[in-house]
């Protein structure tokens, strides 16, 4: 976890729609190049990304502000000064729990929200084109995911819902260390149910997961076992089962985005407190 001082003002989060291109060569190395035209009131620009305030003719679309509870707003106000604009990366098997948390957490902290899978898909020319790339050269597609993470990790004031491939290797994990990483641990049977019942917008990589409920669950188990060690390196973990138990819920689906947001803020506060103690201990007498 690396704390970065933010230089930009507080804004509501955006759901970006970036014009982008993806190039590939005979060497099978993909590179992603983003270029966008935004409203002049841009907040910051790094490595080709430009984020701005939404406007009718802008390529960014601002998501409606969520009516957050007073307790969540108060907790966010308490930790924001120490957070200093550090970006937050949510990892774990893709689910509505993770994506909904990402949006409400961004709104709470007055950050910007990005879904890394969506950015990779747009860079490839859309979901259909992205699926084609995966089928033709999965290694090249994963390299594009790394490039997107590299660009996002250079920025501040972001909540990034990272795709399933975000923890695939040491290079990606190193990029995630530029911010705070939180593992959203969702029971796989819940994720399988979302996929089978078509209650989740699947990314290009998730589209390859299909079949009956038992088949989908088996595929998710395989994916989980491949990624679990990467997820375990996160700075904090939020378990849906644990949150439901602590709140006295009989059903895991009773856990909503605000419950998870409060839990995320608590975990972030713990990390900030631990960092402050380490800094104090390192000071000379």
Q: What is the pLDDT of residues 98-114, one digit of tens each?
A: 999 999 999 999 999 99
Q: What is the pLDDT of residues 4-44, one digit of tens each?
A: 444 333 333 333 333 343 333 333 333 333 323 222 223 23
Domain boundary assignment for the chain: 67-276
Q: Which fold has domain 67-276?
A: Rossmann fold (3.40.50)
Question: What would the mean pLDDT of 159-168 be, rounded to a whole number?
Answer: 91
| Segment (H or E) for 138 | helix 138-153
Write down the pLDDT at residue 62: 40
Nearest partner of 108 among 63, 74, 82, 61, judged by Cα: 74
Question: What would the mean pLDDT of 264-279 be, rounded to a whole number?
Answer: 90
- 3-class secondary structure, 158: strand
DSSP label at 177?
T
Reading the block at residue 172, the tokens are 């990606």
Q: Which residues are within 8 A (CB) of 32 and not within 5 positions of it... i.e. 6 or more apart?
A: 20, 21, 22, 120, 123, 144, 147, 148, 151
Position 276 pLDDT exceeds 70: yes
Contact 78, 269 (CB under 8 A): yes
Write down the pLDDT at residue 123: 85
Can you tell me the distance from the alpha carbon of 104 to that of 265, in angstroms, rounded to the nearest whole number? Answer: 11
């Amino acid at each position: 976890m690396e704390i970065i001082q933010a230089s930009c003002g507080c804004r509501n989060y955006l759901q970006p729609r970036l014009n982008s291109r993806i190039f590939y060569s005979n060497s099978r190395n993909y590179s992603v190049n983003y270029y966008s035209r935004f409203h002049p009131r841009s907040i910051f620009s790094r490595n080709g990304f430009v984020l701005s305030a939404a406007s009718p003719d802008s390529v960014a679309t601002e998501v409606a502000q969520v009516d957050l509870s007073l307790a969540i707003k108060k907790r966010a106000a308490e930790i924001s000064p120490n957070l200093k604009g550090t970006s937050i990366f949510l990892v774990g098997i893709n689910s509505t729990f993770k994506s909904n948390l990402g949006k409400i957490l961004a709104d709470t902290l007055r950050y910007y929200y990005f879904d890394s899978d969506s950015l990779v898909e747009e860079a490839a020319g859309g979901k259909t084109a992205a699926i084609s790339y995966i089928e033709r050269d999965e290694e090249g597609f994963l390299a594009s995911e790394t490039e997107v993470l590299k660009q996002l990790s250079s920025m501040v004031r972001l909540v990034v819902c990272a795709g399933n491939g975000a923890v695939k290797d040491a290079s990606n994990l190193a990029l995630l260390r530029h911010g705070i990483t939180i593992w959203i641990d969702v029971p796989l049977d819940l994720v399988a149910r979302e996929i089978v019942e078509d209650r989740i917008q699947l990314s290009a990589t998730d589209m390859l997961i299909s079949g009956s409920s038992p088949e989908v669950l088996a595929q998710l188990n395989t994916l989980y076992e491949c990624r679990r060690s990467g997820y375990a390196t996160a700075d904090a973990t939020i378990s849906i089962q644990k949150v439901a138990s602590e709140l006295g819920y009989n059903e895991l689906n009773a856990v909503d985005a605000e419950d998870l947001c409060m839990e995320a803020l608590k975990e972030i506060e713990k990390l900030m407190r631990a960092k402050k103690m380490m800094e104090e201990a390192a000071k000379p007498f």
